[in-house]
Structure 1
């Protein structure tokens, strides 16, 4: 386990390729429709999506526990469709840890090394390094039942890394942990990845987890990747309505395209108001569109004076969240329009029932396909 940190996809080298991969269990319905995906060596890629979107099935095909119905999976340039899981040089971390209860922590870590016939002296040294990496040196002689959930997950992580695989797959590994421990483990896994540069493919339905940990995120829906991008780009520049609504909080205003000029367009809302927006995914003039505006991009009162798009809103509710407040307003007929305000910027005189000026800049509103959220 070398300490040399490799740059994330520094040389752009591809480690894994899905080429036209499909998966069906009944011969009719495709769980994975036509997956074409390159995973770069050294990157942390998260497969994100709701239940049944195809993300876990894709991971299981890569691991070798499921066989593609069509298409090909390449690992380091070689087709692995017919290679059994234990010969793929892949580490796995599951939500339920999958530790051997009758083995001590050290024996659990030594097991994948003995299977690979690593010499005893080398095995002892690698187990020692792996335990130090997850800060469990003092627990080497304990059994899994004597450890907390977080400690067991650390052991599972160390076991997946101890034989120095070229690829580590993680399937909802933090799902069973409480919020505080989960957030701590997110950082721990991220830092281990940064330190050792191993390629990680991580499956979760938790968008916050995906944004926090990943170099890139692939958003799955109905068996297809809707968008793949670095976390910030995914959040700030969603390609369609599904991604805009699945990643983070999003205000939606339904309207009709009036005109388009290059990258910008004008949209008329139901009540006749007009909004100038970025034209991301629009049809011809007259076609329906959905406007997407993030709650933290909306300016209130005097801050809205310089905004290209200005409205009045009626305050419906305050939701206090410690460091910030979510203000629910009625805006252009939408009664669930949310504005996020840091506590330090909140006007203490603002009350439910007040009419308030608000606005947003053109670059913060995106005209997208009108497809409903599913």
Structure 2
């Protein structure tokens, strides 16, 4: 379980821009909704707090914004403790899911408001508003009211308003939750583009794993007020440290069993499944023979041995684990096929194969050989 920044990537202290130091939060004085939260966000970094509803991620964001106060611990911004600093003095940009735009003001007036509060001149305000609208590609929409815009356009305005006064830190709380799938995907790339262009530090909250994987430099996965793992998107997907992270990030096949052998030298183990088969796996969260474990295996890492990739014959070594499987269901998804098979005592075992030449069509009732390598199968906590 990881609750601190990764030790294998040290950076200068000056680059740690936003810091949570052993932060806890309780609303009733008894139940902790955030438990010992530690996080160092580097200057210019895009960090996402990811987790299910009620996991504590939004509470952490609200404490950074100043709308909630930590029960214990310290929050620092650019080296300065801000626990007792009111929200309007923190200089933080904020984007909410419901946009929070003033409906009686034009788009330009919405953007001008935070600048007027800061006492800027009309000329400076006009320039900054125009630049912000151009940045989100809404330069011709300044005179419109929010009610005259689509949901995606309103979210662009909300993003522009959070950036118009050039804050060093922008907080985003489920900003794309109200958008449909296509708009949500478009805005993911838009936000990432703006982040890369401006180099502003961003702290983002979502329960959507795709958003987190698409935009983030690092992701903190929350559950029950605790950070389960803090890592890059690639590391979270390829090397989850426990069962919760494995099954929250992407799709996984789960196989339950008991450790029957541990390599004395090396990284692998043998697991005897509840169905009786023996599987070679990577030992991640198991320490002794007899321990219960849950194996985690990504659907795209399973090979159909009777339908190897074109040109792969003779070039791939046999997988460490080979079993006979019965095809139960085949779903066509355009770029790939999602096949459900019965194997190793599970009727919910999924295999994803590309929709490419060389892969013969599969049909329910068909029996075939499937296999996977030990390094792709992770022995996690039960």
Smaller-chain TM-score range? Answer: over 0.9
Alpha-carbon contact 2:336-2:353 (below 8 Å) kept: yes
In 2, Cα distance between equivalents of 1:55 and 1:349: 44
How many residues matched? 362
| Consecutive unaligned residues in structure 1, runs of 5 or more | 1-8
TM-score, with structure 1 as normaliser: 0.94
Is 1:111 aligned to residue 104 of structure 2?
A: no
Partner residue, 1:357: 369
Is 1:168 aligned to residue 180 of structure 2?
A: no
Partner residue, 1:327: 339
Partner residue, 1:254: 256
Q: Per-residue CA shift, 1:162-202, capped at 9, x if unaligned? A: 10101000000011111101100110000000000000001
In 2, Cα distance between equivalents of 1:144 and 1:94: 15
TM-score, with structure 2 as normaliser: 0.92
- How is 1:170-209 mapped onto 2 (pairs within 5 angstroms)? 170-209=172-211
- How is 1:152-301 mapped onto 2 (pairs within 5 angstroms)? 152-261=154-263, 262-301=266-305
In 1, Cα distance between equivalents of 2:349 and 2:148: 49
Worse overlay, 359-368 or 343-352: 343-352
Partner residue, 1:50: 52
* 1:35/1:250 CA distance change after superposition, 3 Å: same
Find 2:380's aligned residue among 365, 368, 373: 368
Q: Give the CA deviation at 1:306.
A: 1.1
Partner residue, 2:350: 338
In 2, Cα distance between equivalents of 1:306 and 1:118: 69
| Consecutive unaligned residues in structure 2, runs of 5 or more | 1-9, 309-315
- How is 1:78-93 mapped onto 2 (pairs within 5 angstroms)? 78-93=80-95
Q: Give the CA deviation at 1:283.
A: 3.0
Alpha-carbon contact 2:330-2:362 (below 8 Å) kept: no
Following TM superposition, where does structure 1 have runs of at least 4 consecutive aligned residues deviating by more than 2 angstroms? 9-12, 301-305, 345-350
